[in-house]
A and B are shown apart, each in its own frame.
Chain A
Amino acid sequence: MTLATKGAAIDIRGVSKFYGNFTALDDVSLRVEPGEFMSFLGPSGSGKTTTLNLIAGFTDLSTGEIRLGERSIGHVPAHKRNIGVVFQHYALFPHMTVAANVAYPLKQRGMGKAERAQAVEASLRKVQLESFAHRYPSELSGGQQQRVALARAMVFNPSLLLMDEPLGALDKKLREVLQLEIKRIHRELGSTFVYVTHDQEEALVLSDRIAVFNKGRIEQVGTGHELYTRPQTLFVGQFIGESSVLRGAHRSAGDETALTVGGVTLTAPGTAKGDGPQVILLRPEAAVVQAPGTGPRDGRTNVVAGTVREMLYLGSAMKYEVALQGGAHVTARTATQGSPFGIGSPVEVAWNPKDSTLLADDGSTAAL
């Protein structure tokens, strides 16, 4: 017996959600492809859970339209949407056994007893809990409870599965195990998955594409690689991965822009984004820490002098925190070679302009 179904596309068109004067979601549009694993990533209060609740039907739409496959579901009651949901707090029914919990959605759909038992067993086998069928939720660990919740959400073959920070209450080790399991289940089911998380690593590991939410809007949608290497906003650049931000007066010339940071002129690819102030976003692995006086080398034409403020030995690499002249600071990660620079040593930080990104300064700070 195979439970594999084809996933359905979700089309969110111009959706907003207001709570009185507060705008929780501001004219959001997004398409999730059939069978895709899409993560909604963002800090708390960014609108990602609101969007999930709107898709699930737990919250009423203020404006806009939501389509699941060919069907407009914006105003269909939650229990008629046929969407599986996994909650952070498990939400297992405490008065029912594991088997009864998983059978619940089938019972609501009027499935016969024999057929039901078979489907429940198959679903529990998928999460490797078939021997726990007669236990009560309170007798299971957090990880086991979340597996039961997963089995319950997929037992009725929904074309879409929503997960609201399902691993948020679990410890790191268990989270990693369950991430792999969720990935495997996604492959086996073929349903569309939408996964809400504030953990960028989790989003990168799991997703085909990620939608980054901030302040009720979507900042950028793309694969993890796209978001990391080509962030379109400073917020995305800082939210995904580590980065250093350099601020200064800018002047565009040709297809390059020069920023004056602490008296040093640095170049970045592309012309200024918008009319406002610009920043250079630099990834730690793009910057090289070198002895003072080394100067430009191998295309690394941006060179700034500074002082090592912090030094971390990571085994395969060294991580430096360098205070640049003029007050800015840069994080650099370089392969361990030769004797490392000690704290307080004068150094140079150098990088190829092509490895940095020019972005409009939207006031985002790394403190999240």
Chain B
Amino acid sequence: MKLHLPRLLLGLTCLLIAIWLVAPTLVVVPMSFAGKKSLAFPPSGFSLQWYENFFTNPQWFGSLVVSAKVALMVAVAATVIGTMAAIGIERMQSRAGGLIRAVLITPMIVPGVVLAVGIYAVYLDTQLVGTWTGYVLAHTLLAIPFVVIAVGANLAVFDARLEVAAASLGASRLATFFTITLPLILPGILSGALFAFVTSFDEVIVSLFITSPQLKTLPVQIFSSMTRDADPTVAAVGSLIFMATSLIIGLGLIFGTRRRGA
């Protein structure tokens, strides 16, 4: 018994922490099936009307489409720029590489509100508020650090001597990049792209500043809906996103382990 008590306590502590971490997310799910227009927990009644509202109300569904499109463009732009930057920094002989890396990563460290104010001020002058370009530019800025870090970590373990070997075998710099370097750092690039997508899809602070009634991303729509009234559609959106991300991560884990096993 003496041995069992500490183990029991450890298990209990872990369980409590797990509940604490997951509960806020799970609470949203029952609320999304609420019968009445209130965000009370536990909800009373049952209905699918909030899901219906999300898919039929152009305010809601439109903002999802905007968010998805912006996030996709950001993922592509940030991945290309971030990957090139990471490779450039890795190959730099001088110490300036560390400095450039620090500068590239600042958007991750600077408080979002500070960045948002700066971006908003510039956008007012250049009339980028509420535009596609505005969203993509701002979100790419925020997403690049994630790509630089993910690709940089992969490059640190990449054996650059393989590129020398490729050259000796007749491959030009460009051919070497596409046949040797790229395939070997692809895991870093893909995880960087995923981070970039999520960063944009999830972004609310900067988006709140540069939004317009005509062009709203989903997080902005959720935020403004919450401040106006208690609309359980928010819970429906939350549940859908929760399901989608669980699915993506689950698939990623399955494929990830399968590839390692091969």
Contacts and interface: CB of A to CB of B under 8 A. Distances in A.
Which 6 residue pairs spanning A and B have beta carbons closest together?
Answer: A91-B165, A105-B169, A85-B168, A108-B170, A78-B167, A79-B167
Interface in A46-94: 56-58, 77-85, 87, 89, 91, 93-94
Interface in B157-175: 159, 161-162, 164-173, 175
A172 B120 CA distance: 69
Contact of B168 (A84, A94, A95): A84
Given A87-B161, A94-B184, A95-B183, A108 B171 contact: yes
A83 B165 CA distance: 11
A104 B164 CA distance: 14
Given A91-B164, A93-B162, A108 B184 contact: no
Given A95-B184, A108-B175, A79 B164 contact: no
A56 B166 CA distance: 12
Nearest to A89: B161
Interface string A129-140: 000000000000
Nearest to A107: B179
A79 B172 contact: yes
B137 to A, nearest CB: 35
Interface of B: 159, 161-162, 164-173, 175-176, 179-180, 183-184
A274 to B, nearest CB: 41
Contacts of B167: 57-58, 77-79
B165 A109 contact: no
A104 B168 contact: no
B166 to A, nearest CB: 7
Given A93-B180, A95-B184, A109 B164 contact: no
B170 A79 contact: yes
A89 B165 CA distance: 10
Contact of A79 (B161, B171, B179): B171
Contacts of A156: 169-170
Nearest to B184: A95
Given A56-B168, A93-B162, 16 more contacts: A78-B164, A79-B166, A79-B168, A79-B169, A79-B172, A81-B168, A89-B159, A104-B169, A104-B171, A104-B179, A108-B170, A108-B171, A109-B170, A153-B168, A156-B169, A156-B170
17 contacts: A58-B167, A79-B166, A79-B169, A79-B172, A81-B168, A82-B170, A83-B168, A85-B168, A87-B161, A89-B161, A93-B162, A93-B180, A95-B183, A104-B179, A108-B171, A153-B169, A156-B170
B184 A152 contact: no
Contacts of B175: 108
Nearest to B164: A58
A91 B184 CA distance: 13
Contacts of B171: 79, 104, 108
A57 B166 CA distance: 12
A307 to B, nearest CB: 53
Interface string A296-312: 00000000000000000
